[in-house]
Amino acid sequence: MCAITGWHRPDFPARCDRETLLRHLIRKAQPFGDKSFGLATDLPGKDALVKYVGMPSQWLAQNSRDIGRFAKAQTLIAHARYPTQGDVVRRNCHPFKVGDWLMAHNGTLRAERLMLRSSFVPAGETDSEAAGCWLATHGFSTASLEELEGTFAIAAMSKDGAQFVLAVDEVTSLFVARIGEGILWHKSGEALESSLRAVGIQAEVQALRSQVLRFPGGRGERLDRSSNLFGARHDA
């Protein structure tokens, strides 16, 4: 099992302590994945993509002076990994950069067949990156998501943060909260609720199921499949 968490352009209250919120979201992802950690943001330069081999709590401790800078991102995707495919090395850490997209995945996919038809090849050995090659080829369209075989919760953004996609199948855990025109998410509903409460934000937390949220626009699209290809495992 793994965890994805983060936000996309939420309308935070002016007094919201975004640094505290980010610490909560990251640390509360660790129970679901403690082997590696990563961040993707719409910030420039080295802050756009972080890959770290080790516990999220270790990364937080080693980068305590930098958390405030990451917390300023308008779009941020964080991932805590517990591996089922691929060694625990930097190239297999989420998020992955594929073409013009940055993406992270929680679940288990059978993606080699799709990767063979993709415009990109993975740098590592994970099912997640192989699937990302297929999805990036098709701009993370709903049709390309429908071809995935396995389980997934996926967060993806274009490098400039202008496009954002959050997609989940019918069995994988993912919870969301709307803040104005934006959104926050976490694998755990309790983690999301308590993180928001820690910074004085009251928002309804809802489970996302068989749905694609796409921004700009943010309108939910239902995933439509002719057959159920999904098992009960929640690995990454």
pTM of the model: 0.93
Q: Which strands make up the sheet holding 182-186, listed edge to edge? A: 49-53, 36-41, 75-81, 3-8, 182-186, 175-179, 205-207
Alpha helices in the chain (DSSP H): 18-27, 56-62, 67-71, 112-115, 127-137, 142-146, 189-198
DSSP classification of residue 16? -
What single-letter amino acid sits at 174? L
Q: Does residue 235 carry a pLDDT above 80?
A: no
Q: Compute the Cα dihedral for 185, 190, 195, 197 and give only its sign.
A: positive
d(CA 169, CA 131): 14
How high does pLDDT run on average in the chain? 93
Give the model's pLDDT for residue 222: 87
DSSP 3-state assignment of 167? strand
pLDDT at position 60: 98
Digit-coded pLDDT (tens) for 117-146: 999 999 999 999 999 999 999 999 999 999
Look at residues 32, 55, 41 and name the one whose alpha carbon lies nearest to residue 174.
Answer: 32
* Position with higher pLDDT, 19 vs 82: 19
Residue 234, pLDDT above cutoff 50: no
Query: Which amino acid would we find at residue 116?
Result: L
Higher pLDDT, residue 146 or 233: 146
Give the model's pLDDT for residue 180.
93
Average pLDDT over every residue of 109-121: 96
Q: How many residues does the chain have?
A: 236
Nearest to 176, CA basis, from 151, 214, 205: 205
Predicted pLDDT of residue 63: 96
Residue 162 has a pLDDT of 87
| pLDDT for residue 33 is more than 70 | yes
Q: What value, to the nearest 5°, has the Cα angle with vertex 126 and ends 51 and 141?
A: 90
What is residue 24's predicted lDDT score, i.e. its pLDDT? Answer: 98
pLDDT at 191: 98
Backbone phi and psi for residue 18, each to the nearest 5 degrees, phi listed first = -65, -30
CA distance 145 to 223: 8
